[in-house]
């Protein structure tokens, strides 16, 4: 399994990891309340990653799996890539979410695609976190029939407030980790004029 060390954490590609080991770490009521069955989710996500329809990285700390970060086309407007971040409860409030968003921003630059985060409207913790990370950002309330759920969209136009982007060496390390990941060929830029006007920022 290929890994890299980045800002105090170890990163690996989900396609190189047994998905049930990731799911087991996230199988906690504080997580499953929002993501459903983690075993089903990560088996399906690994299959999507292998098809190149999404990209997911697993984050490890000294105690094991700490969470995952990823990108996939947003179903409400595939011109956008949706960020996905799931952390184990021991990492809530630790600052790892900030690091995750820095990684996602750098990945988005590789694909030259605009990013957004979609948060369940009832998830007050995640909404408060996004407002803290992007205090000058905008919010848009939408209904997502494919879930189905009421959601709040947060366009992401850079790293979190007060955080620096990955430097050149860090970006190169991420590219080395990704290697021949199938998503590098599939998640191509969608022309800006194909975006849904309601989401264009």
- Encode pLDDT of 176-189 as tens digits: 999 999 999 888 76
Asked if residue 148 has a cis previous peptide bond (ω within 30° of 0), the answer is yes
Model pLDDT for residues 8-21, shown as the tens digit of each residue: 999 999 999 999 99
Residue 148: HSE in the Cβ half-sphere, 13 Å Cα cutoff? 2
Region 73-78: mean pLDDT is 93
Distance of alpha carbon 134 from alpha carbon 160, whole angstroms: 6
Within a domain: residue 13?
A: yes
- Count Cβ atoms below 10 Å from residue 159 Cβ, excluding itself: 20
Token output for 103? 């990684």
Q: Determine the Cα–Cα distance for residues 25 and 44; give it in Å rounded to an integer.
A: 17
Q: Let me know if residue 201 belongs to a domain.
A: no
Is position 26 within any domain?
yes
- Asked whether residue 198 is domain-assigned, the answer is no
Assess if residue 194 is contained within a domain. Answer: no
User: How many domains are contained in the chain?
Assistant: 1
Q: Residue 107 maps to which CATH number?
A: 3.40.630.30
Looking at residue 17, the DSSP 8-state letter turns out to be S
What is the domain range of residue 91? 3-185
d(CA 94, CA 87): 10
Given a cut of 60, whether residue 201 has pLDDT beyond it is no
Report the phi/psi class of residue 7: left, alpha or beta, with left for phi > 0 and alpha for psi in -120 to 50.
left
Residue 196 lies in a domain: no
Query: Which of the four pLDDT bands, split at 50, 70 and 90, describes residue 190?
Result: low
* 113 lies in some domain: yes
């Amino acid at each position: 399994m290929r890994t890299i060390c980045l800002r105090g954490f170890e990163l690996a590609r989900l396609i190189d990891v047994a998905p049930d080991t990731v799911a087991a770490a996230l199988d906690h009521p504080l997580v499953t309340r929002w993501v459903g069955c983690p075993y089903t989710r990560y088996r399906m996500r690994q299959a999507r990653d292998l098809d190149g329809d999404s990209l997911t990285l697993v984050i490890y700390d000294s105690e094991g799996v700490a969470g995952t970060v990823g990108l996939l086309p947003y179903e409400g407007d595939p011109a956008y890539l949706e960020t996905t971040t799931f952390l184990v409860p021991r990492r809530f409030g630790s600052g790892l979410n900030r690091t995750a968003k820095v990684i996602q921003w750098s990945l988005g630059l590789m694909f030259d695609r605009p990013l957004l985060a979609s948060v369940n409207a009832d998830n007050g913790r995640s909404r408060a976190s996004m407002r803290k990370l992007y205090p000058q950002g905008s919010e848009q309330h939408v209904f997502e029939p494919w879930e189905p759920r009421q959601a709040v969209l947060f366009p992401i136009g850079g790293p979190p407030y007060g955080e620096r982007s990955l430097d050149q060496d860090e970006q190169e390390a991420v590219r080395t980790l990704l290697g021949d990941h199938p998503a590098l060929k599939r998640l191509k830029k969608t022309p800006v004029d194909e975006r849904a006007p309601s989401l264009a920022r």
